[in-house]
Every structure is written in C-alpha cells, then in structure tokens.
Amino acid sequence: MSSSKVQYPFWYGGASSMAACMVTHPLDLAKVRLQTASERGQGLVSMIYQIITKEGPTKIYSGLTASLLRQATYSTARFGIYEWLKDQYIESTNNTKPGTMILLPMSMLAGGLGGLIGNPADVVNIRMQNDNTLPVEQRRNYRNAFDGLYKICRDESPASLFRGLMPNLVRGVLMTASQVATYDIAKTFLVDQLNLDPTKKTTHFGASLIAGLVATTVCSPADVVKTRIMNSKGSGGSAVTILTTAVKNEGVGFMFRGWLPSFIRLGPHTIVTFLVLEQLRKYRVGM
C-alpha cells in the first residue's frame, strides 16, 4: 500500500487567500490609508469612519479587484511553490517531515518568487486603495485592476509595475516565512506537544492566530516602506532614501505605523486563509 503524501492542487493557497481577502479588505484599505497619511495619531476606527462618512459606505471596498488579483498571483505562487518544495523534500527523504530549519529557507524562496509575480497587482492595489485621499487633479481613477495595469503601462512604463520591488521581495520573504512556515511549526507544536487534534478547526485557528501575530510584527517595516514607494509619483526615491527620510522626520516608530490595523487585518486574514485551506484539503476540492 502506498504511503505517499497527497498532492493537493497548486491553486489552493491562492483561492484561500482570495476568500480571506473578501472578508478583510476594508481593514487592509484602512491600513494603507494609515501608512500613507501625512498626519500621525489617527486610529483604525476613525479611519474607517472617515472613509464611510466622506466617501460613502461602498468605498470601504475600493480597489477590491486589485486585491483579488494580487492574491490570485502573489498568494497562489507563494503557497503553491512552498507546498511543492515540501513535497519534493518529503519524496527525496523517504517521507521525512521537514523541520524548522528546512521550512524556513523553503518559505523564504517561495515568498520571494511570490513577491516578484504579484508586484504588478500590488502596485495597482496600493494606488486604488489610496486614490481618494489624493487631490482630484492627481487621482488615477482606475476602473479596475486590469484598467490600472493598462494605464500604468500606457502613461508611465511597464517598468512602473515593478516599483517597490525590493521591499516587496523582502516583505514576501518575511511574510511567507513568518506566516506560512510559522503556521506549520505552530500546528506541529499544538499537535505534538499539546495533543490537539490536527483535524479540528480549533487547532487550525490557534496555529493561524500565532502565525498572524508573528507575521504582522516581522513584516511591518517592509510593508510601510513598500506602501510609500508604490503610492509615490515619479521616481520617488529608493527604499533607503524613503526609509532614512521617514526616520528623520517621523522617528523610528514610523516603521510600525498601522501595526494594530495590520494585525486586525492580517490576523483574521491568516485565520480565514488557513481555515479555508484546510477545508479544501479535507474535501479535496477540484481533485
């Protein structure tokens, strides 16, 4: 009888992340607005309230198409590559389960490739979410994600789709290592050390909550710098220039601006992603 590991479809991670995106998009929008805001001190609740009252209730889903496209590219790639690398390791080591020191470089490679593939959608996503905060004459007014991709190529250059690539690659590496690998490590700990049932949603919830907390803290600096570069006009300066200028003008704490909305967004996003992912695996959807 074969004991080989089940090969799940490549798109499971992307589909799970897109489902989570539908739930957490308003929080992601508030996070981007806080990270690009010129004033300090505004909170998550006041930002969401401001968006609803000044722009309308539907505006809390501004840029949704770009967010979905980003998850369809970035998350599909990073989850799919990560799982493929794990499968290759298990096959080459006669079903030996990879440990932390194996999972981390796998997740870092997958995250970097995912960041590269998802960068164009991420640029459009940041711009669409922040568009209504700009003066009317400076707004891009992208109708949807594909319109945004077209107008960036037409009005700027295709190279503009890869603005902020370096901090995005760093963020992709940090996010996947701190989220996906941490989930696997936390789940193994909960099952092996605390004797929780690996098939129960409570186990998945606990592991994903830990992963969300770790990912938010680790990724915050790269996320803030990435957001500012992608939202800027013209050359905007390098990541180092933007980082040093912001630290000089706003202090080191700027790297953790929007941390609470980031966690409030990334926590539920991580939880929903892994809960959906585990259900796709359980029922072998599409297999």
Q: Given this model, what pLDDT does residue 238 score?
A: 66
pLDDT confidence bin for 2, thresholds 50/70/90? very low
Lowest-pLDDT range of 118-122, 156-160, 204-208, 234-238: 234-238
Q: What is the mean pLDDT of residues 145-168?
A: 93
Q: How far is CA 172 from the centre of its chain?
A: 8
Distance CA 202, CA 200 (A): 5
**Calpha distance 54→268 (Å, rounded):** 26
Q: How confident is the model at residue 35 (pLDDT cuts 50, 70, 90)?
A: confident
Please name the residue that has the structure tokens 């980082």: 243
* Residue 32 to residues 106, 122, 238, 264, Cα–Cα distance (Å): 29, 12, 19, 13
How many residues are listed for the chain in this entry? 287
**How close are the terminal C-alpha atoms of the chain, in Å?**
20
Quick one: pLDDT band at residue 106, thresholds 50, 70, 90? Answer: very high
Query: What's residue 1's pLDDT?
Result: 36
Measured distance CA(139)–CA(131) in Å, rounded:
6
| Alpha helices by DSSP H, the chain | 12-36, 44-55, 64-70, 76-92, 100-130, 145-155, 165-175, 182-192, 201-231, 239-250, 259-283
Banded pLDDT at 79 (limits 50, 70, 90): very high
pLDDT for res 4: 57
Question: Which H or E run contains 40?
Answer: none
Domain ranges of the chain: 12-283
CATH topology for 12-283 is: Mitochondrial carrier fold (1.50.40)
**Spatial separation of the C-alpha atoms in residues 244 and 99, rounded to whole Å:** 37
Residue pair 87/4 in contact (Cβ under 8 Å)? The answer is no
Cα 128 from Cα 136, distance rounded (Å): 14
Task: Note the pLDDT of residue 232.
Answer: 67
The torsion angle over the Cα atoms of residues 19, 123, 104 and 24, rounded to 10 degrees, is -30
Give the rounded distance of the alpha carbon of 48 from its chain centre.
20
Better-scored residue on pLDDT, 137 or 246 = 137
pLDDT confidence of residue 40: 65
Query: What is the model's pLDDT at position 226?
Result: 74
- Would you give the DSSP letter of residue 192? H
What percent of the chain has a predicted confidence (pLDDT) above 70? 93
Residue 145 pLDDT > 80, yes or no? yes
CA angle 196, 197, 200 (to 5 degrees): 115
pLDDT: which is higher, 113 or 37: 113
Least confident range from 5-9, 99-103, 140-144, 195-199: namely 5-9
pTM given for the model: 0.81
